[in-house]
Structure 1
């Protein structure tokens, strides 16, 4: 009997807590977590704060930018003038519960009545406008919270800078916000440091970083939108593909940690590398006369699949995608050349090595292109990269069914001598 109760409890908890997490956080179903092409949505949680929210509003006013504030009802009651100012200056107000409490630890009735509706009533009394957007604390909802969608749209995020901790500082936050931003990002930031797990002075570092980040975003000609003004991104992606993409990205992160893959440039993580030995019994003879032989130290190239996914979503077709990839790789080759010349970890590296489906264009960068030797590895690699094409490209399935002769994995390699000759830093 006890075993049945324990099993039943686990099943209930999985449905009550875990299933909504998978649906909303992993699959992005039923929530807003992206905006339209060329757009970015700045969102701020946990306020209003009497010290930091006015400074943030001054900064947004200075740059003529509209944002969305997900406020706590108890703070809205305490600081109504700040709520009025947020509303008066053209920003969107959303709900973030009455207090910063987890929906997993409350009944559905308490979430709706005590937190969401109560907070919406407070904001409506102050501004005359009722909020219709809701972000639960920590992005956590229980299975019954989906009923809230009748009155509220649930908003999550696609970029979280972890700005609640002051240990990262301005520079690290800026790097996270610049390198992590992609087309249609909904960015999660915090204008208060008073909630559980946050550092009181963390918003000051956020403000310092944001001052610089806004300049970078404007240079990219991004449009800043409130959540209620979004242009819906297209095309819609099937639930099956979204699940596959999420699973792929989990694998990507595990691979990076397991094999110690590191970015070439911390501020531009598109190209990543790891040092390993060349293990093939057959030497690889390059066009400049250099050879890779078994036991040689080489740098293996890897692309950041998270950024590759974003690139695929914005590419018009496969040719456009390949062109953008080649350009980004070209921009980073001088960084690799500099690493090989200056970093002791890369001492005696013979050259760069990679396997790719994008094998038209690397020769113009100095790479020699080789056929992958037939065998089990070639078979597995071909299907692995074809699956990657399906994941990253918006027309991936169609692409796999057409021009299959072009989807053949190739080895690309360039010697250290050739790299330094072409891309001396």
Structure 2
């Protein structure tokens, strides 16, 4: 039961909580605000609706305002004439799933089918293929990031609770006026038929919207489509990049310690806080609380049988010491390093130091004497056999796919050069592997009574070989923490 709950916690954290937190707080891999001073974007979810969408289109036409409609596929299927009218009047049409259901409650394949089905419906009606996607309630899952080349996820910078009728037109107007300005992305709804919404709420929205559009004209603000707002931002960024860089970028990396943007600093701080929570919840321990490399816990092994060194089998149900690299420590190593080779060397030295500490810890704790192996998941594919580990492929399936995406995501977010490293590496290079080592081999090689001194001399040679290596794969976490 404990294992099942832990598995559910892992999956929910990785699949839903972390992606949702990162996108909402930091806008990671989503578009939610423009940079134009004279334009804002009106976006409408949940339609089309046979009563309110025609009235909305009339209002937009009256004020020469362009908008983006994220349509529910099943509604678009019922009212194709409204989707056609949206397109003919110059509005952008995006996807809001085929049914209004959160992505947290659907498998990746189900979400993909929802998007593909809605895309086909829109194409059949308009002849245009859309790439703009807003998940219901703005809730993303881990695999939504993987669809980056297929879809552009669009969230918002301002929402007003317009799906509740009790808000009323006056209060809604006040809220919208406060946010009316260049670059803002308004979230509104032209249909009140979804869960939690009021059927007649769009009428209050229409009253408020007309007031806002009048005020926008007075201020010289124009509502444009999301694709136009995104293009404006890209063009501005290109102009900005034409100027010589003074403190950041590749030159800064070569001069010394890479500079972190304020957003990345916030992300890193948030991640370290989450790691502390994870360690507390699952009671992870370490051999060195002042300068940790590994954290660990005992759990049953649930994979296929693996032959470790010495032909020792690791079978389903065996107790393993699950290792988790300390993300803060490895981030510090990454910040001090100018290349992946230097990061790798720092990690090798840290592991070399910690394995004897682990061996001594196990010898001193009788409750660990039934543990059969060390176990971890990592993208490090070189040099670990020399330390006594056996490298094995993860079984194909959801865990392997989600772990790959997660570790790449963590590398990009935490590692100062993570994004560039991902672009340089092929998909075959960045694949998580399972590492296992028999406890008896750990004790034989690394305990005080074993052949640790002889091994240390050998590892010094291995370390020199690592310094001369031309390729070493590095990631800043080997676990789901």
Shorter-chain TM-score tier? 0.5 to 0.7
Q: Which residue of 1 aligns with 2:118?
A: 119
What is the rounded CA distance, in whole Å, between the counterparts of 1:33 and 1:229 in structure 2? 13
Where does 1:302-313 land on structure 2 (aligned, <5 Å)?
A: none
Distance 1:195 1:15, change over 3 A: same
Paired residues in the alignment total 245
SS in 1 for 2:65: coil
1:238, distance to aligned residue in structure 2 (A): 4.7
- Offset from partner CA, 1:391-415 (integer Å, 9 cap, x none): xxxxxxxxxxxxxxxxxxxxxxxxx
Partner of 1:250: none
1:5 corresponds in structure 2 to 4
Root mean square deviation, CA, Å: 2.1
2:166 is paired with a residue whose SS is coil
Deviations 1:103-131 (A, max 9, x none): 00000001011x10100000000000011
**Equivalent of 1:239, from 263, 282, 298?**
263
Q: CA deviation at 1:246?
A: 9.8
| Closer/same/farther in 2, CA of residues 149 and 40 from structure 1, 3 Å limit | same
- For residues 70-85 of structure 1, the aligned pairs below 5 Å read 70-85=70-85
C-alpha displacement of 1:64 = 0.4
Counterpart position of 1:179: 178
* Contact persistence 1:27–1:246 (CA under 8 A): no
Aligned-partner SS, 1:119: helix
Q: Alpha-carbon deviations, 1:143-194, whole Å to 9, x = none?
A: 1121222211000000001100000101100011011234311100000000
Question: What does residue range 74-223 of structure 1 map to in structure 2 within 5 Å?
Answer: 74-113=74-113, 115-223=114-222
Q: Which deviates further from its counterpart, 80-89 or 6-15?
A: 6-15
**Is the partner of 1:55 in helix, strand or coil?**
helix
CA distance in 1, matches of 2:269, 2:174: 25
Q: After TM superposition, where is structure 1 displaced by more than 4 Å over at least 4 residues in a row?
A: 233-238, 241-247
Check conservation: 2:45, 2:69, Cα contact below 8 A: yes
Structure 1 distance, partners of 2:13, 2:268, is: 21
Q: Secondary structure at the match of 1:193?
A: coil
Larger Rg: 2
How do residues 394-409 of structure 1 correspond to structure 2 at under 5 angstroms?
A: none
TM-score (norm 1): 0.55
2:168 and 2:153 map into 1 onto residues whose CA distance is 30
SS at match of 1:167: helix
Q: Deviations over 1:365-424 (max 9, x none)?
A: xxxxxxxxxxxxxxxxxxxxxxxxxxxxxxxxxxxxxxxxxxxxxxxxxxxxxxxxxxxx
Counterparts of residues 178-327 of structure 1 (less than 5 Å): 178-230=177-229, 231-232=232-233, 238-240=262-264, 243=267
The C-alpha deviation readout for 1:57-81, integer Å capped at 9, x for no partner, is 0000000011000001111110000
Partners of 1:24 and 1:108 in 2: CA distance: 18
Distance 1:36 1:89 in 2: 25
Match of 2:70, SS state, is: strand
Provide, for residues 186-244 of structure 1, a one-character-per-residue CA deviation record: whole Å limited to 9, x for no partner: 10000000000000000000000000011112222123210111111768965325649
TM (norm. structure 2) is 0.49
Return 204-213 or 224-233, whichever deviates more. 224-233
Gaps of 5+ in 1: 248-425
Offset of residue 87 of structure 1: 0.2
Counterpart of 1:344 in structure 2 is none
